[in-house]
Amino acid sequence: ELKIQILKTFLHLCILTLSKHQYINKDIPYVVKMTILMFLTISVGLASASLCQYYASYTCQNVGNDIRKNLLNKISLFSYSD
């Protein structure tokens, strides 16, 4: 609840500042264009981070599996040679 109140206050101050300098009325197309561009950039970043996490966990799991398999093969060879 406190976070929402702080956000509302911040947005209210931003709108007052922008309207005081008359930026809102002149640059609406620019603001809309930049907003869309920012959301596209955020979406690409989110997708990239998700893919990175997926492939990192997949690779770690397979590397661990390969190490475990090689270690068990090596241990089994030592056991049979005795």
Q: What is the pLDDT of residues 11-49, one digit of tens each?
A: 887 777 666 555 555 677 777 788 888 889 999 999 999
DSSP codes, 44-74 = HHHHHHHHHHHHHHHHHHHHHHHHHHHHHHH
Calpha distance 30→36 (Å, rounded) = 10
Calpha distance 7→29 (Å, rounded) = 24
Query: What integer pLDDT is reported at residue 22 of this predicted model?
Result: 57
Query: What integer pLDDT is reported at residue 35 of this predicted model?
Result: 82
Q: What is the pLDDT of residues 43-81, one digit of tens each?
A: 999 999 999 999 999 998 888 888 889 888 888 877 555
Return all residues near 18 (Cβ < 8 A) that are at least 6 apart. 24
